[in-house]
Structure 1
Amino acid sequence: MKQIYAFEQKEDFDRYQGIIQRFSNKLKNYQKILEEQYALNDLPKGVIWTTPELATNAFSDIPIPAYTNKNLIYMSPDIAYWRKLFLQQLEGKQLPKVQYFYENYSEKELFIILAHELTHHSDLFLDGFEDDREDGIWFEEGMCFYLPRKLLLSEKEFDEITAVEMELVNTFNDKYGNHSIEAFGSSSYEGSLSSIMFDYWRSYLAVKHLVEVRAKNDLMSVFDQYRKWDQEGRKVSLVEYFELESFV
C-alpha cells in the first residue's frame, strides 16, 4: 500500500510525521496477520494521511476522520482532535470513567481505528464495496472493531474499551436504541455524533457476544454461520439468523 500525504501546509506533515511512521510500521504487521489468517487478499491502493478538516470537509462529508472505500483508506492521525471528538459523544452527561478514558485516549486505541479500516478489506466479509449493502452491515462493522481489538490490545485494554462502550450503550439506549441493529447507519450521518456511534458500539458488543459466548471463542465458526446465512438466501435478517433479537 502506498502512503499518501494530503496536507495543505508542510507544518501539518511535520507535526504528524512521527505518528504516521509508527502507524505505517504497525499496519504492515497487522496486514500480515490478516493476510495469513483472515483472508486479506486484495489490499487497498494506499492510505491517505490528512488533517481532520480535509477528511471531513474536502474528501468527504462524513463527520469522522477515518473511512475506507475499495481503493483507499483515509485517516487523520491527529490524536488531540480524536480525543475532543470522542468526548462529544457524552453529550454533556457525567460519565467520569468514560470521560477519563477519552481524555487519555492512546495512540494504541487510535491505531485500532486504522486497523478497523483495513479489516474491511478482508474477503471474509460477503458484500464488496460496490454492492448495495442493506443487510448485515452491523456484523461487518462490529467484527472490524472486534478483531483488531482482540488481536492487538492487551486483555486489560480490551476489557477497558469494552466497558466504556457498554456504559455508552446503556446510557444512550433509551435515546438512540429504538431501531433494530439491522438498520445500522439509518441516521445516514445526519444525526448527532452519539447517534452515529451508537450503532458501532452496539455492533461491537453484539459481535463480541457472538464470538465469546455463543461460539465459545471460536471466531471462524461465527464466519461459517455468516456464510451459511448467505448461502441459504438470506431468508431472514442476520440478527434473526443469529437469534440476537433480545440482545440488540
Structure 2
Amino acid sequence: MKHIFAFERKEEYEKHQDTIQRFKKKLKEYQQILESEYALRDLPKGIIWTNEELATTVFSEIPIPAYTNNNLIYMSPDIETWRNILVKTLDGNELPYVQRFYENFSDNQVFIILAHELTHHSDLFLDEFEDERVDSIWFEEGMCFYLPRKLLLSEEEFNDVTFVEMKLVEAFKDKYGEHSIDDFGIMSYQGNLTSIMFDYWRSYLAVKHLVEVQANHNVNDVFKEYHNWHKEGRKVPLSQYFGINSFC
C-alpha cells in the first residue's frame, strides 16, 4: 500500500510522523494476520493520512475522520482529534467513567480504528464497496471492530472498550435504538454524531455476542452462518437469522 500525506502544513505532518510510522508497522503485522486467517486478498491502493477537517469536508462529508472505499483508506492519526470526537458522543450525558476513558483514549485504541478500516477489505464480507451495502452492514461493521480488538488489544483494553460501549448503548437505546439493527446503512449518517456511533456500538456488541456466546468463541462458525444466510437468498433479516432479538 502507498502512504500518502495530505496535510496543509509541513509542521502538521511532522507532528504526526512518529505516530504514522508506528501505525504503519503495526498495520503491516495485522495485515499478515488478515491475509493468513481472514481472507484478505486485495489490499487498498493506499492510505491517505490527513486531518479531521480535510477528511470530513474535502475528501468526504462523513463526520468521522476514518473511512475506506475500494481503493483508499482515509485516516486522521491525531489522538486529540479522536478524544474530542468521542467525548462529544456523550451528548451532555453524565457518564463519568466513559468520559474519563475517552479523555484518555489510548494510542492503541486509535490504531484499532485504522485496523477496522483495513478489515473491511477481507473477502469474508459479502458486499462489495460499490454495492448498496444493505441487509448486513451491522455485521460487517461490528466484525471490523471485533476482530482487531480481540486480536490486538490486551484483555484489559478489550474489556475496557467493551464496557464503555455497553454503557453507551444503555444510555442511548431509548433515544436512538428504536430502529432495527438491520437498518444500519446510508441513512445512519444523516443523524447526529451520537446516533451514528450508536449503530457502531450496538453492532460491535451484537457480533461479540455471536462469537463469544452463540458460537463459543469460534469466529469461523459465525462467518459460516453469515455465508449460509447469503447462499439461502437472504430470506429473513440477518439479525433474525442469527436469533439475536435483544439487539434488534
* Equivalent residue number for residue 177 of structure 1: 177
Secondary structure of the residue that 1:5 maps to in structure 2?
strand
**Contact 2:181–2:247, Cα closer than 8 Å, also in 1:** no
Counterpart of 2:241 in structure 1 is: 241
CA contact (8 A) 1:67 1:75 kept: yes
**2:7 is the alignment partner of 1:7:** yes
Equivalences for 1:45-64 in 2 at 5 Å?
A: 45-64=45-64
Aligned residues: 248
Name the residue aligned to 2:149: 149
Q: Gaps (5+ residues) in structure 2?
A: none
- 2-structure distance, mates of 1:247, 1:36: 31
- Is the partner of 2:4 in helix, strand or coil? strand
Q: Can you list the C-alpha shifts for 1:114-139, whole angstroms capped at 9, x where unaligned? A: 00000000000011111121111100
Shift of 1:10: 0.6
Alignment-mate amino acid for residue 181 of structure 2: I
- Write the mapping of 1:74-113 to structure 2, written as runs, cut at 5 A: 74-113=74-113
2:65 aligned partner = 65
C-alpha RMSD of the superposition: 0.8
Give the alignment's TM-score, normalised by structure 1. Answer: 0.98
Deviations 1:221-243 (A, max 9, x none): 00000000000111111011001
What TM-score do you get using the length of structure 2 for normalisation?
Answer: 0.98
**Which residue identity lines up with residue 72 of structure 1 in the other structure?**
L
Contact 1:185 1:196 in 2 (8 A): no
Question: Are positions 1:208 and 2:208 aligned together?
Answer: yes
Runs of 4+ in structure 1 deviating by more than 3 angstroms, as ranges, are 185-188
Indicate if the aligned counterparts of 2:46 and 2:73 stay in contact, CA closer than 8 A.
yes
- Match for 2:106: what amino acid? S
Distance 1:167 1:186 in 2: 25
Alpha-carbon offset, residue 188 of structure 1? 3.8
2: CA distance between counterparts of 1:147 and 1:30? 10
Does the Cα contact within 8 Å between 1:187 and 1:196 map onto a contact in 2? no
Shift of 1:186: 5.6
Local SS of the residue matching 1:246 = helix
1:245: Cα distance to partner?
1.8
- Per-residue deviation, residues 46-103 of structure 1 (Å, max 9, x unmatched): 0000011100010000000000000000000011011011000111111111000000
Question: What is the Cα deviation at residue 244 of structure 1?
Answer: 1.1
Structure 1 gaps, min length 5: none
Structure 2: distance between partners of 1:32 and 1:125: 18
Give the corresponding residue for 1:135: 135
SS in 1 for 2:77: coil
2-structure distance, mates of 1:188, 1:98: 23
Q: Distance in 2 between matches of 1:139 and 1:203?
A: 6
Alpha-carbon distance between aligned partners in 2 of 1:247 and 1:79, rounded to the nearest angstrom: 31
SS of 1:236 mapped into structure 2? coil
Secondary structure of 1:91's counterpart equals: coil
